[in-house]
Structure 1
Amino acid sequence: MPDQGEAPPPVPPGAPTAATGSRLTRRKPVEQLVAEGGQGAGGALRRSLGLWQLTMISVGATLGTGIFVVLGEAVPDAGPAVILSFVIAGLTALFSALSYAELAGTIPVAGSSYSYTYATLGELVAWVCGWCLILEYGVSVSAVAVGWGAYLGELIEGTLGVGIPEQLAAPPGEGGVFNLPALLVVLLAMAFLLGGARESARANAVMVVVKIAALGLFCVVAFTGVRAGNYEPFMPLGMAGVSAAGATLFFSYIGFDAASTAGEEARDAQRDLPRAILLSLVIVTALYCLVAVAAVGALPWRDFEGSEATLAGIMQEVTGQGFWATILAFGAVVAIASVVLTVLYGQTRILFAMSRDGLVPRVFSRVHPRTGTPRANTLLVSVFCGVLAAAVPLGRLADATSIGTLFAFALVNVAVLVLRRTRPGMRRSFRVPLAPLFPAIGLCLCLWMMGSLDRITWVVFASWMAVGLAVYFAYGMRRSRLAGADR
């Protein structure tokens, strides 16, 4: 069923009308996507989220482990000019964020970039995008949960003097038997999500406020130890060093798109989703730059080399007391728990959209009538991610989440260009400025970032895609609701 005002894709001479190629490129009309918004098997998602909650979802998914450890990797490349590196990385993310904002306001549904590509690039590309998102969200939940367990161990040891037994703090193959803290934080996030979108959004907002306060505390303490000489020379390794650090820091911005997965639970999605995406990016960039100014001012940039200087280490260096490092470790525990909650939320909503389209089993789109949440979906995803975090060494699979995310970002930039060409008169609550230039820049930057990743990451990504294509051709293509409409 083509979009209104669109001609169906041309059929090559001599090819049958129902050829496999035409099935792979079938698109789901924007009007149909929007009309189905919120509807699941047995009930509907509840529209209960405002601008504040949506913004906190994206901030919660973005502001996590990265800023607590990333300076130790980036400062040796850029020196004090790491502040500029954060700005460059933020601007790099901004081009894709603008495209997300336009599509989130135009197609306010739960599937995020999966749904955007379904409306513009066809079913096969949409499946590939959705499969990338499953990798990005599912594996990153598990990886972040493992990091939460490590910070929790440090916090307990710093406050009580007793650590978590190694057998219960790591999976097999990494010195342990079962990573119990990683499982616990996923189950805690699951409990919030089962209570409803509004309740989990409130819990996330509290956690976001706590971790922003922890970073604010770091800045206050670090600024007491700032020495003007630490900012000189400002750019010791030149612009090349600033750019290299910017590429490293870009991955600290991944997560700003999380609000787009809440398209069917926002009270005024067309107005609030674009604002939430862009506002969250501004908040995160401002915090990152402020923390960077305080950190490099308090500690000479050369001392970051090989020291794995985290924010907690800098606070201890400035004050000479371990108390402040313990406080910051508490902030890190809260920060990472917020990431687990928001990313797990995004994963369930993407699977909800894919299930409603018939591409994954129907159980993922069943909505509980009392809470208005996809309860079975949440339980299945949480148990899977929790067991993955607790019992499986993730290794390179966790690294592959970066390439999956960039691939999804690239497709969103392409989707903006396609929808601008095929549906120029469609109402858009937000429009990317200077299109098609900005979406094209966003696409090129994503491809450049993907090209900078190592070969092993590409091998893992290719293997994941091969499995995904096998699942699609064996299950999704035949059970697609659009396939039923074609018969």
Structure 2
Amino acid sequence: MIGVGATVGTGIFIVLNEAVPLSGPAVVFSFLLAGLTAALTALCYAELASTIPVSGASYTYSYATMGELIAFLVGACLVLEYGVAAGAVAVGWGEYLNALLGQTTGHQLPEAFAAPPGEGGIVNVPAAVLVALCCTLLVRGAKESATVNAITVIIKLAVLMLFVAVAFTAFDGGNYADFAPFGVSGVGLAASMVFFSYIGMDTVSTAGEEVENPRRTLPLAIFWTVIIVTTVYLLVAVAAVGAQNWTRFEGQDAGLAAILGEVTGSGWPAVALAAGGVVSIFGVTLATIYGQTRILFSMGRDGMLPEAFHKVHPRTKTPVRNTLIVSAFVCVLAAVVPLNVLADITSMGTLVAFTVVSLGVIVLRRTRPDLPRGFRVPGYPVTPILSVLACAYLVYGLSWLTYSLFAGWLTLALIFYFTYSIRHSRLASPDEPDDVTTPTTT
């Protein structure tokens, strides 16, 4: 539920309007390519999660395989994957909230306060409110958050299946006539964009210390997350393009709700979809902020970050200060940064982290072949190599602005590492590790 909750909704409710104009109806192949990359990486995550079943995800795996500096830089990438992703998702919440208000009351929030600069607004107030609600729930405790997340997962899958069922009633094969108007390059560019929709599948591995029998549970959870998510995405993409010509997607707010509104004449299915989008994006924001706080908790416990990040409240047992800091960061991003910028930088950070995890499988097989593994990547070493190549291909499709922002972020991370982290680290020397699980067992 955490894996699906953090993934479905991360992009499918909002990313089609960004991706379809890049590829046309061939966006279906873009989802397949992104899904294949996610599946290859999931296999690598499953092996490391079954070998090192503790919190921290890619950060912990990177330390175990490549040492402290690489682990810190991966932790910086995970801030982009989770923190920035939460901001990107929150941006889309305002669109669906406005769609719901318009269909039920006939009134909407003023555009100036319902969208970030660059998208017709001044500040995205709904996005900031959403982050504050998630923060409040996460501070209360992990059990309460998991319960709410499970409810939102069921709702979002139900409304997406409703969308598929209704959209197929208006399916027009002619919408697929000009299948790939921008050729292979368009499919690749859109795949880099829609990969944003798969971000969150590794959230499962951030809960390594909070599940029963993690060596068995984590690999199974990762597999089922990828299978469920890919199936749902393909159904939604096929139905959406079949119901609406691809040339009409660009600039369309709350795209799925808008399509149902046209198909049904703004009937109850469109209202249900808009309401489902509101609930679903809430669940995604909740899960991604949860994942971010747990990663920073591990880094704080290792001395990579100040102690505030790993202090827990004596009653709720949650990292309250950590959650407040992360939520404030996400709130600012969601309120003032355009969606397309957030989506691309999130994809960059995630793909780099996925690449390191795939390489980590190879490194750990060579350096610690004796470690017990609950799961082994099939087709080793071909599978992790293919995962690296697939991630590199998607990185290639990102914009130069994204490269520049990513380089600036890593520069800031390196400055922080050499001025603070290296002097406060509680980890063993990367050249002399005490044990593969040192980061989260010390």
**Structure 2 length-normalised TM:** 0.89
2:82–2:200 Cα contact (<8 Å) kept:
no
1:67–1:288 Cα contact (<8 Å) kept:
yes
What is the Cα deviation at residue 206 of structure 1?
0.6
* 2:150 aligned partner: 205
**Structure number with larger C-alpha Rg:** 1
Say if 1:385 and 1:81 are closer, same or farther in 2 by CA, change over 3 A.
closer
Give the distance between the partners of 1:486 and 1:237, measured in 2 at CA: 49
Give the distance between the partners of 1:151 and 1:132, measured in 2 at CA: 29
**Structure 1 length-normalised TM:** 0.81
**1:344-383 matches, cutoff 5 A:** 344-383=289-328
Name the aligned partner's letter for residue 437 of structure 1: V
Q: Which of 37, 41, 44 is the aligned partner of 1:96?
A: 41
Q: Which of 59, 63, 66 is the aligned partner of 1:118?
A: 63
* 2:255 counterpart of 1:310: yes
Give the distance between the partners of 2:52 and 2:377, measured in 1 at CA: 14
Which stretch shows the higher mean deviation, 228-237 or 424-433? 228-237
2:34–2:194 Cα contact (<8 Å) kept:
yes
* 1:66 aligned partner: 11
Give the distance between the partners of 1:362 and 1:145, measured in 2 at CA: 28
Give the distance between the partners of 1:62 and 1:331, measured in 2 at CA: 15
What is the Cα deviation at residue 172 of structure 1?
7.0
Q: Give the share of equivalent positions with the same residue, in percent.
A: 56
Say if 1:238 and 1:477 are closer, same or farther in 2 by CA, change over 3 A.
closer
* 2:70 counterpart of 1:129: no
* 2:141 aligned partner: 196
Say if 1:476 and 1:394 are closer, same or farther in 2 by CA, change over 3 A.
farther
Query: Per-residue displacement from partner, 1:373-396 (whole Å, max 9, x unpaired)?
Result: 222221222233224433667874
* 1:226 aligned partner: 171
Give the distance between the partners of 1:307 and 1:475, measured in 2 at CA: 45
Give the distance between the partners of 1:442 and 1:157, measured in 2 at CA: 44
* 2:230 aligned partner: 285
1:61–1:339 Cα contact (<8 Å) kept:
yes
Query: Per-residue displacement from partner, 1:284-336 (whole Å, max 9, x unpaired)?
Result: 11111112232233335565577779222322232233543232111111121
* 2:86 aligned partner: 141
Report the RMSD for the aligned CA atoms in angstroms. Answer: 2.8
Give the distance between the partners of 1:432 and 1:388, measured in 2 at CA: 37
* 2:194 aligned partner: 249
Q: Which of 451, 458, 464 is the aligned partner of 2:403?
A: 458
Consecutive unaligned residues in structure 2, runs of 5 or more: 433-442
**1:390-469 matches, cutoff 5 A:** 390=335, 396=341, 399-469=344-414
What is the Cα deviation at residue 244 of structure 1?
4.9
Find the residue that maps to 1:360 and give its secondary structure.
coil
Give the distance between the partners of 1:395 and 1:77, measured in 2 at CA: 13
What is the Cα deviation at residue 338 of structure 1?
1.1
Find the residue that maps to 1:67 and give its secondary structure.
coil
What is the Cα deviation at residue 238 of structure 1?
6.3
Which stretch shows the higher mean deviation, 467-476 or 230-239? 230-239
* 1:476 aligned partner: 421
2:99–2:254 Cα contact (<8 Å) kept:
no
Query: Per-residue displacement from partner, 1:110-151 (whole Å, max 9, x unpaired)?
Result: 110000000110100001000111222222222322221232
Say if 1:74 and 1:384 are closer, same or farther in 2 by CA, change over 3 A.
closer
Give the distance between the partners of 2:330 and 2:190, measured in 1 at CA: 31
Query: Per-residue displacement from partner, 1:216-259 (whole Å, max 9, x unpaired)?
Result: 11112112222455555766776665555434432221211111
Query: Per-residue displacement from partner, 1:139-169 (whole Å, max 9, x unpaired)?
Result: 2222322221232123223222222244543
* 1:187 aligned partner: 132
Give the distance between the partners of 2:182 and 2:338, measured in 1 at CA: 37
Which stretch shows the higher mean deviation, 316-325 or 443-452? 316-325
* 2:436 aligned partner: none
Give the distance between the partners of 1:165 and 1:301, measured in 2 at CA: 28
Query: Per-residue displacement from partner, 1:49-105 (whole Å, max 9, x unpaired)?
Result: xxxxxxx11111111152224334544565555434322321121111111111111
* 2:197 counterpart of 1:258: no
Name the aligned partner's letter for residue 225 of structure 2: S
Find the residue that maps to 1:429 and give its secondary structure.
coil
* 1:216 aligned partner: 161
Consecutive unaligned residues in structure 1, runs of 5 or more: 1-55
Aligned length: 432
1:110–1:262 Cα contact (<8 Å) kept:
yes
Name the aligned partner's letter for residue 40 of structure 2: F
What is the Cα deviation at residue 187 of structure 1?
1.5
